[in-house]
């Protein structure tokens, strides 16, 4: 692979329901599909996103010129007791291990990784603190692997009613915001590579 932007390449999509069509109510309404449509003609999509995906389920050996990853929310929910009792360090370490493996398999690719938004439902204070700490750890991990941060948490903050449905899934509007964040990071990476 090359660091210079190619006219065509492979877009590798990884992660959870923040990326998929299912909750948008529109075929092709998910963030991955919307972002893919912004790429020039000739690009191919290798989509491995999965509803409910957690860190251990993300394939680590796939390659792409652009990689988007939305992950961590389901892990946080499934490990709530651990986060509450022992903090986020173990989950942040698991996140870093995933990013490092993806970077090893894709040393020169544009790696765009999202942060985690808050759901519509009211969370206990300890879980809110854990979510903020987890996002801080994720941002540090993304920087460590020379990735691009899609700041989903910040973009969704105070817009949860508009951008989410079923309490925790991206609506069509939410998916559009995520796709825009992916596109902005891709453009910034391309400009830096020129």
pLDDT digits (tens, 9 = 90+) for 111-145: 999 999 999 988 888 888 899 999 999 999 999 99
pLDDT over 50 at 4, yes or no: no
pLDDT digits (tens, 9 = 90+) for 138-176: 999 999 999 999 999 999 999 999 999 999 999 999 999
Q: Can you name the residues that pair with 14 across neighbouring β-strands?
A: 48, 69
Between 56 and 84, residue with greater pLDDT: 56
26, 82 Cβ separation under 8 angstroms = no
Fold classified for 10-193: Rossmann fold (3.40.50)
Residue with tokens 């400009």: 191
Domain ranges of the chain: 10-193
Predicted confidence band of residue 3 (pLDDT cuts 50, 70, 90):
very low
- State whether the Cα torsion 114-161-170-167 is positive or negative: positive
111, 99 Cβ separation under 8 angstroms = yes
Buried/exposed code over 5-17 (b: 16+ C-beta within 10 A; e: otherwise): beeebbbbbbbbb
pTM of the model: 0.94
As given in the structure block, the two tokens for residue 21 are 């069509």
The three-state secondary structure class of 85 is: helix
Tell me how far apart the alpha carbons of residues 135 and 46 are, in angstroms, rounded to a whole number: 26
Tell me how far apart the alpha carbons of residues 84 and 12 are, in angstroms, rounded to a whole number: 33
């Amino acid at each position: 692979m090359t660091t210079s932007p190619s006219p065509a390449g492979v877009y590798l999509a990884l992660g959870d329901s923040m990326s998929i069509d299912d909750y948008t109510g529109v075929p092709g309404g998910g963030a991955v599909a919307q972002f893919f449509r912004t790429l020039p003609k000739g690009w191919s999509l290798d989509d491995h996103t999965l509803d409910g995906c957690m860190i251990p389920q993300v394939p680590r050996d796939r390659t792409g010129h652009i990689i988007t990853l939305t992950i961590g929310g389901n892990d946080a929910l499934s490990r709530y007791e651990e986060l509450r009792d022992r903090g986020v360090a173990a989950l942040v370490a698991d996140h870093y291990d995933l990013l490092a493996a993806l970077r090893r398999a894709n040393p020169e690719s544009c790696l765009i990784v999202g942060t985690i938004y808050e759901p519509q439902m009211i969370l206990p204070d300890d879980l809110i603190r854990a979510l903020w700490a987890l996002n801080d750890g994720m941002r540090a991990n993304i920087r460590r692997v020379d990735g691009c941060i899609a700041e989903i948490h910040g973009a969704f903050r105070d817009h949860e009613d508009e951008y989410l449905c079923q309490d925790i899934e991206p609506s069509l509007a939410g998916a559009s915001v995520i796709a825009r964040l992916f596109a902005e990071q891709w453009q910034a990476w391309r400009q830096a590579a020129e």
